[in-house]
Amino acid sequence: MAEHENLVSSTQIIIKDALDKLGFDEGMYELVKEPMRLLTVRIPVRMDDGTVKTFTGYRAQHNDAVGPTKGGVRFHPDVDEDEVKALSMWMTLKCGIVDLPYGGGKGGIVCDPRQMSIHEVERLSRGYVRAISQIVGPTKDIPAPDVFTNSQIMAWMMDEYSKMDEFNSPGFITGKPIVLGGSQGRDRSTALGVVIAIEEAAKRRGKMIKDSRVVIQGFGNAGSFLAKFLYDAGAKVIAISDAHGALHDPDGLDIDYLLDRRDSFGTVTNLFEDTISNKELFELDCDILVPAAISNQITEENAYDIKAEIVVEAANGPTTMEATKILTERGILLVPDVLASAGGVTVSYFEWVQNNQGYYWTEEEVNEKLREKLVKAFDNIYTLAETRQVDMRLAAYIVGIKRTAEAARYRGWA
């Protein structure tokens, strides 16, 4: 929990700095430093052996001054109140960065779906929707997939909400299967957004993705799609990792081979004897480093050992504040998580728009609109960082919080 508390406090520090630079007063900071709502629920679930187990779930809504809140639901044993709060704040920033009419939300359930049957996961998913139903909906708060949740879980949640609402409500949730109103391109949108951020960062450093040496920490949903995109674009993915270790080949790994062998939770290194540690992974000589796993991975202890010229954060909060300062001082271009991983919420927004219209786009249209939004966002943040002589993270927070702060001011909230 201390780690998550640190994520909240470090986020608050940067938000305060961003608001100060925008000229907002202390009252605005007091409004946005914590979520406006945080619901804690207890969910009884009948397990396959006939016993009833009660799970704890959360839903945080950071700020709805701009519009409905939006954010994923994660199923993980380490979920806690502070993590959900921090993630909801980052979602507000992401939505502001890519100019979406949303505030940030986030949800989670303390559980380990890897130790549960599919029927138990379904009952838990439906129970969660019933528990939070009063504060969510297509015009209130729109959930989406996150860690250890997927399109099937979103389908169960949508079905449960539609039963309660007594009409079909595809716009209640995003990340659904295509046949239930999901969007083309949604499953790989987060990874594609990271690729676009890598392309834009590489351009600023006079590089091309083709033949660049890339290290990716994480081989789950985002990390594996990302590895595939970069591999197909001609990059040399020289290392990937999962929870059990890392694989390294200076000539480039065969990503298609690894994808064929990874399990549904992104594990593949347990099939190999010759592995390296997570610590060694971060010290590899490469052009681009992509932390795509968990938070607090690049710290002041290892920031001086990083040899990459570009670091692009695909995970949530992988770099500490102290490490951000060290990397920036060393001339490493750090693309922050709230910019690099904004592709998922952007295409979730497209899905919600398509649900509201009842008119659906091709994957080419979705990808074109995604690229347009993310290239514009990257350019805005990079230019602001250069102009104001601040790091990319602070520049992203300035852009990200401005929309919410202005909307709150116009509403008379602060």
CATH code where residue 115 lies: 3.40.50.10860
The pLDDT of residue 204 is above 80? yes
pLDDT in tens, 31-60: 999 999 999 999 999 999 999 999 999 999
Q: How, if at all, do strands 245-248 and 236-242 pair?
A: antiparallel
Q: Is 348 annotated as a binding residue?
A: yes
Within a domain: residue 180? Answer: no
Whether residue 88 is predicted with pLDDT greater than 60 in this model: the reply is yes
End residue of a domain, out of 331, 348, 370: 331
Kindly state whether residue 288 falls inside one of the protein's structural domains. Answer: yes
Mean pLDDT of the chain: 93
The pLDDT score that the predictor gives to residue 1 is: 45
Q: Which of 16, 85, 106, 228 is catalytic?
A: 106
CATH code: domain of residue 296: 3.40.50.720
Same domain, 204 and 93: no
Domain that holds residue 252: 189-331
Is residue 379 a part of any domain in this protein?
no
Whether residues 134 and 255 share a domain: the answer is no
197 in the same domain as 148: no
Is the pLDDT at 265 greater than 80, yes or no? Answer: no
Task: Give me the residues paired with residue 42 across strands.
Answer: 56
Query: Do 203 and 164 fall into the same domain?
Result: no
Token pair of 326 as six digits: 């060290």
Q: Distance between CA 244 and CA 365 in Å, rounded?
A: 38
> Which residue has 């959360």 as its token pair?
58
Asked if the structure places residue 44 within a domain, the reply is yes
What pLDDT, on a 0 to 100 scale, did the predictor assign at position 7? 82
DSSP string, 178-240: GGGTPPTT-TTHHHHHHHHHHHHHHHHTT--STT-EEEEE--SHHHHHHHHHHHHTT-EEEEE
Let me know if residue 377 belongs to a domain. no
Same domain, 206 and 164: no
Number of folded domains in the chain? Answer: 2
For residues 341 and 189, is the Cβ–Cβ distance under 8 A? no
Q: Is 94 annotated as a binding residue?
A: yes
Q: Partners of 13 in the beta sheet?
A: none
190 is in an annotated binding site: yes
Q: Are residues 202 and 254 in the same domain?
A: yes
The residue with greater pLDDT, 255 or 6, is 255
Is 176 tagged catalytic? no
Instruction: Judge whether 381 lies within some domain.
Output: no
408, part of any domain: no
Q: Are residues 143 and 244 in the same domain?
A: no
Specify the range with the lowest mean pLDDT, choosing from 65-69, 171-175, 271-275.
Answer: 271-275
- Assigned domain for 16 exists: yes
Asked whether the predicted pLDDT for residue 2 surpasses 80, the reply is: no
pLDDT of residue 4: 52
User: What is the Cα–Cα distance from 83 to 35, expressed in whole angstroms?
Assistant: 12
* CA 74 to chain centroid: 11
Asked if the model's pLDDT at residue 167 lies above 90, the reply is no
**134/17 same-domain check:** yes
pLDDT score of 169? 86
Whether residue 85 sits in one domain with residue 17: yes
pTM: 0.92
Which residue, 331, 353, 382, sits at the end of a domain?
331
Q: Are residues 113 and 206 in the same domain?
A: no
306-359, pLDDT tens digit by residue? Answer: 999 999 999 888 998 899 999 999 999 999 999 999 999 999 999 999 999 999
Whether 150 has a binding-site annotation, put simply, is no
User: Is 125 labelled as part of a ligand binding site?
Assistant: no
Residues, the chain: 414
Greatest C-alpha distance within the chain:
63
217 shares a domain with 125: no
End residue of a domain, out of 331, 349, 384: 331
Same domain, 154 and 27: yes
